[in-house]
Amino acid sequence: MKPTHCLSTSLHRLAGAAWGVSVGPVHLLNNQSYISFGLKPSPNRSVILCPYQLTAGEEVQRVYWEMWDDFEQVGTYEWRPATGGQAATGRLEGVVELNRDDGELELTKLRYDLAGDYLCGVDLTNGQSKNSSKEQVLIVDMSGSSSHSTYFDHCRAVNSFTSPATYPEPTLRAGLYLEGSETFYKEVSGKDWMKVVHPNGSITYSYDKVSFEIDKNSPLDIVFKLKMGFTKSDGTYISISSFSSSSPSWIEHGCPDVKERDHKGVRYFPSHNIVCRGGHKNTTKVCSFENHLKIKAHVPLEYLRVSTERELIAARSSQATNAVSYSQQATVTCDSGYRSAGDVSIVVMRCNGATRTWQPEKGTTATFDDLKCAVTSALRMGLVHLPHDNRYINYTKGASPDNSLLECVHHLDEEEQVATVSWTLWDTMNTVGTFEWHSADPEAGRRSIDAFLCGAVATGKLEGVVALGRDDGFLELLDLRYDLSGEYSCAVTLTNGKRVETAKWEVLIVESRSHLSILHRSLSECTYTTSYSTLAMFPKPSVRAGLYSESLGGFYKELPASQWRVEAYENGSFTHSYNQVSFELDAKTPMDVSFYVTVGIMKSDSNYIPVSSAMDKHIIRAKRCKLNPSREEQTNDTGIDVIKRRIMVCLVNDSLGVVRSGVGMVKVAGYSESGAVGMI
């Protein structure tokens, strides 16, 4: 008989207080949580114990084992004191050590399908029999490479992770973690996890560049944490490994913002030294090093040990020498339209990092309250803008107070009165049109006849297209032409002679009635082919098209500018088009990819104004590309998509879809169910 390397049967024969044999529960040797597939089976690593207790005079006739897969018995084994181990059956056949002098179950080979529910039973010579309850035994395999990287961008943690190939399916959680309460504050969401099932049944999980923001409302004991383990069928969690990382910037406080009041404004220098917890901090420059933690392992994750980000930063900081400190500066002056009314015209304060308070600049004593600001004039100007905060004048809608009215916003003191409002239309640096409006006669309480007939005058491009009889000084265009697009400014002159002018503001007149776009697309095998054209549009639009990923936050593959055909017409309008451009969908293509076309106008200050768009929504997920039917798409309990990219087969779809879009609308025609299009 082979000598035992674990608890012998005699150790289980303990006299119990109660009459009769008691059995179980079964468990692994040395209270192991699981059997490691990566280590060779041995009497020290792959033995399942059957603990039992006998009362005086009782003797064991047989110890038997059963293996279950859900409700199906898939293997048996029995041992007798007189004859030793008997033949094993089912999955246990050929993998159990028969030459033992006890009834324990020793696995001599390991396979994934040997993980399952086990029970043992004991038959006595007096005819009594008792068996244990079923207990789940895990066989854990972790192989291949894994990686985990975290970098900190001021108040943001950006994290990526790839697990090793693991069996059984692991339980993973990652995100901002509260060490005090041992709970997650914010987690990597289910849609960010990517799951790959390998042919042998093992699973790899990963996510890429998931970011978390730290602000003044974030708990103080927060770190980034990743936890990996396994969950048994009874809900017991077995931890395998975990990582924690954080940045010192997450707990920094600065001097709070100086409250702007009493017509005083505050400027900060440097302006970017705003800390995560709020306020402005002093700057200390040391020997440069990057707050970066990157871990790569080519061993099972259970054997990986790394230093945390906090330890790494502390170690590097301890070596830094010749640190230079720069204190944060706050400069207080009177707001526009106000002047200093005393001896103090400016106040400069420095941040005291220890007390987090603002103190007067060295050599001065003036504080915020020492600066007194008096009004020079209550007249304040806002920006020129269109009704309802419209971003352009719509040529299609025609001239109306709701579409083509330019407002000159200004604010007065109760005792001040407007004399004139002057408008200027600019072409670069040249004046190409003017309009001057006079207020009502203060004494007559009505519009002056002379002002109405002679004073309200429009010149240049504005002549004959401006409403002269308005009582508010706003510029209302009564007719729309392409050449009325340009930069407009207005100036208000008070009866006391005070005059204030606004900055120039570009006003676009967009011809969108003729903007009827046609988008053709087809999906054949794994090739997405599209053609698109806009009809004539003014001004020259900015167009983009390509495969767009919401998770990436932009275009994954974009149509290059060289493939756009641009035609200019005599009236100044343009047409953009392309024909039969194809995009290949492969294993690297994001699963949320959509075909996206945007048409808009780029102002001279690079401010982009969208006019219309069309989106062929989720061209992979929307039943166009299906996984091999023998390996169907699955979803686990947390909503994580099972992505088996390598076995993806795209179904041929010869239907042709046409998307016709006007301003802000998309109409769909000619689509099959597998070619449905999302609309914006």
What string of H, E and C letters represents the secondary structure of 122-147?
EEECCCCEEECCCEEECEEEEECCEE
Q: Within 13 Å and on the Cβ side, how many CA atoms surround 632?
A: 3
**In angstroms, rounded to a whole number, what is the distance separating the alpha carbons of residues 414 and 226?**
63
Torsion of CA 374, 379, 382, 385, to 10 degrees: 170
Kindly tell me the sign of the dihedral angle through the C-alpha atoms of 469, 471, 475, 477.
negative
Name, in order, each residue with C-beta under 8 angstroms of 607's C-beta and a sequence gap of 6 or more: none
Amino acid identity of residue 108, one-letter, is T
Structure tokens at 405: 């009215």
Amino acid identity of residue 53, one-letter, is Q
**In angstroms, rounded to a whole number, what is the distance separating the alpha carbons of residues 680 and 615?**
7
Stretches in the chain below the pLDDT threshold 70: 1-19, 283-326, 337, 375-379, 441-455, 512-518, 620-680
Q: Which residue has the tokens 């103190």?
A: 359
Please give the helix or strand (H or E) that residue 438 lies within, else none. strand 430-438
Right CATH number for 9-137 from 2.60.40.10, 3.40.50.360, 1.10.1040.10, 3.90.480.20? Answer: 2.60.40.10
In this chain, the answer to whether the domains covering 9-137 and 517-675 adopt an identical fold is yes
Q: Which 8-state DSSP code applies to residue 451? A: I
Kindly tell me the sign of the dihedral angle through the C-alpha atoms of 250, 251, 254, 256.
positive
Residue 276's alpha-carbon distances to 153, 194, 308, 510, in angstroms, are 11, 30, 20, 43
**In angstroms, rounded to a whole number, what is the distance separating the alpha carbons of residues 362 and 8?**
82
Q: Which residue has the tokens 């028969």?
A: 98
Q: In the chain, what are the domain boundaries? A: 9-137, 141-247, 380-510, 517-675
Does the domain at 141-247 match CATH 2.60.40? Answer given as yes
**In angstroms, rounded to a whole number, what is the distance separating the alpha carbons of residues 254 and 94?**
69
- CATH number of the 517-675 domain: 2.60.40
Q: Which residue has the tokens 């693991």?
A: 166
- 118 within 8 A of 66, measured Cβ to Cβ: yes
Amino acid identity of residue 142, one-letter, is M
Q: Which 8-state DSSP code applies to residue 670? A: S
Q: What is the DSSP string of 78-137?
A: EEETTTEE---EETTTTSB---BSSS-EEBSS--GGG-EEEEEEEEETTS-EEE---EEE
Residue 516's alpha-carbon distances to 513, 611, 680, in angstroms, are 7, 11, 15
Structure tokens at 229: 């383990």
Please tell me whether residue 187 adopts helix, strand or coil conformation.
strand
Structure tokens at 410: 């200004």
Q: What is the DSSP string of 200-263?
A: TS-EEEEEEEEEEE--TTS-TTEEEEEEEEEE-TTS-EEEEEEEEE--GGGG---BPPPP--TT
Angle, alpha carbons 492-497-498 (nearest 5°): 55
- 442 within 8 A of 455, measured Cβ to Cβ: no
- 122 within 8 A of 104, measured Cβ to Cβ: no
Angle, alpha carbons 82-83-89 (nearest 5°): 135
Structure tokens at 49: 């114990």
**In angstroms, rounded to a whole number, what is the distance separating the alpha carbons of residues 378 and 387?**
25
pLDDT at position 428, please? 86
Please tell me whether residue 9 adopts helix, strand or coil conformation.
helix
Angle, alpha carbons 675-676-680 (nearest 5°): 135
Q: Which residue has the tokens 């910037």?
A: 249
**In angstroms, rounded to a whole number, what is the distance separating the alpha carbons of residues 380 and 492?**
9
Q: How many H-runs (helices) and E-runs (strands) does the chain carry?
A: 3, 55
pLDDT at position 636, please? 39
Structure tokens at 164: 């090793």
Strand order in the sheet with 565-568: 565-568, 574-584, 527-533, 517-524, 653-662, 665-669
- 608 within 8 A of 543, measured Cβ to Cβ: no
Name, in order, each residue with C-beta under 8 angstroms of 40's C-beta and a sequence gap of 6 or more: none
**In angstroms, rounded to a whole number, what is the distance separating the alpha carbons of residues 641 and 195?**
6
Name, in order, each residue with C-beta under 8 angstroms of 377's C-beta and a sequence gap of 6 or more: 337, 413, 416, 494, 496, 498, 500
Please tell me whether residue 304 adopts helix, strand or coil conformation.
coil
Burial class from Cβ neighbours inside 10 Å (0-12, 13-18, 19+) for residue 403 reads buried
- 575 within 8 A of 541, measured Cβ to Cβ: no
- CATH number of the 380-510 domain: 2.60.40.10
Angle, alpha carbons 628-632-637 (nearest 5°): 155
